Amino acid sequence: MYQLLSHVTDNMSLWVLATLFLALLLVWKRRTKGLPLPPGPPPRFFVGNVPDLPKKFGYRGYDALCKQYGDIVHLDAFGIPLIILGTQQVAVDLLERRSATYSDRRFSVMADLTGFSWFFAVNPYGTMWRKARRAFSETMNPNAVPQYRLVADRAVRRYLLRVLEEPDNYRSNALYMYNATIIAVAYGLDVQAAKSENDKYVKIAEQTMKSFHEAFTLGASHVERFPVLRHFPSWFPLAGFKRKLPEWSADARRLRDEPWDAAMTALNEGSATSSMASILTGDANTEEEINIAKGACASAYAAGADTMFATFAMFMAAMVLFPETQQRAQAELDSVIGPDRLPDIRDKEQLPYLSALLVEVFRWKPVVPTGVAHLAMEEDEYRGYRIPRGALMIPNPWAYSRDPAVYPDPEEFRPERFLKDGKLDLGDRDPAASVFGYGRRICPGRYFAEEMLFTTIASLLHCFDMSGPRDEDGNPVKFELKFLDVSPVLPEEFQCHIRPRSAGAESLIRTVCYESELAAMT
């Protein structure tokens, strides 16, 4: 009898468990409406689709997957769902129009370990992120940007003089210009003045960004997938990144604290110029608010200098490969500006071809080709597919810029595609709709970046002719553009033959640079 009752009890337990399982399955089916995940390559045991992830130039690999499986593709990376957004329409539908659902970021273990959590772009959506974003936007919105124009103009004029005197170093000097400009805008520190002690802050910033890219490309690849590695010793397999943590952490603290401390000293001494720091410190009364202000200023460098420099490098490549666009832009500058002054941002409306040329640089070679990954904050449905909560949403601006239905002959550099009846006409084809991000994660520094880049390329084209590599006899040689697999994407270094367009252009550079320095000292 006891055995019989035991058998019945065991069977009843199994039935109860089976019933509970079926009930949970029905609830899950009802919640997800029984929808399938987006299509994609079949996953392998344990590793999922990790073998399918592109090893180099990921944007090309993602585009190939979308061409094979459709506009929206699902991949599994050790249990983490990745959703590749293959077209601009899909990216806008989800990241822009449903930004309340897709504005999160995965918690970054590496940002927590290194102290780079002050960089709000890597942080999850929440109260602290909103405060940091608000502080940054307060100092970089369209109404705030004009106050930095004198700083940007002076930096460009100094750069023109360096190009005149050291044309072979055009690339390294451009990187220095953008680094120095961001330091000046963020902290009010003039690092380009002769014998300036502030030059050390550019070196701090350059070293910190080197550490940032190392940490978030080499180190993060394992610990973000397996957070438990943070608790293992550095000799443990896949935990070798821990040997670099002290160096990365020290660099993160230096960029956040040292330029800020210098800016506060200048403010107290009454020698500071208007900057992000001078604006934000007036509203910072608590330790949390001060740390948010520090992070916002440091984020300006982390988010701005590298991408502006990479975009400028793409512009130089385009001028070498497509000389006819250079000539047409110069003709417009000659007609509107004349020989006696340099162009500036106030001339932009009268320079539609040059404006279109900058837009085409953004489109032709997006320097952040896979954009910034978003995270689904809740379960969602799109086009009959289920988007799981916690899915990483990966846009692909590079692929969108190569859509022949939107941009005919996409590999050609053609500014006129953004002109109509002699005026700039972006319509619904503005590359900025993808290259600067989406929704609540759109780059808040885009207005300053666009102004700075426009001033740079307008001034350079106005004063110099640029052409490609030459042999020992001075004859042009075939030039093939190649790219580094880094973020932001950079063209490999190439020789660029730069010379003043005329004796008048050389005289203009020396005159305006001297006047600019004289004005800075008064």
What does DSSP say about strands 80-85 and 392-394: parallel, antiparallel, or unpaired? parallel
Residue whose tokens read 């002769």: 194
Give the integer Cα–Cα distance in Å for 237 and 127: 36
Both tokens of residue 51?
């073998």
Give the integer Cα–Cα distance in Å for 300 and 179: 10
Give first-to-last CA distance, the chain, whole Å: 105
Residue 219: other Cβ atoms inside 10 A: 24
Both tokens of residue 173?
């000097």
The backbone region for 474, taken as left when phi is positive above 0, alpha when psi lies in -120 to 50, beta otherwise, is left
DSSP codes, 411-477: TS--GGGGEETTEE--TT--THHHHT--GGGS-TTHHHHHHHHHHHHHHHHHHEEEE--B-TTS-B-
Residues with Cβ < 8 Å from 472, sequence gap 6 or more?
A: none
443 is in an annotated binding site: yes
The runs of H, that is alpha helices, within 282-418 are: 287-321, 323-336, 352-364, 397-400
The residues pairing with 74 across neighbouring beta strands, listed in sequence order, are 83
Give the integer Cα–Cα distance in Å for 148 and 35: 51
Give the integer Cα–Cα distance in Å for 25 and 34: 10
DSSP codes, 94-126: IIITTTTTS-B----HHHHHHTGGGSGGGSPSS
Q: CA distances (Å), 122 to each of 102, 149, 217, 487, in order? A: 14, 28, 13, 14
Q: CA distances (Å), 114 to each of 32, 185, 217, 241, 252, in order? A: 38, 25, 13, 11, 7
Q: Please give the annotated binding residues, written as ranges.
A: 443
Q: What residues form the annotated binding site for heme?
A: 443
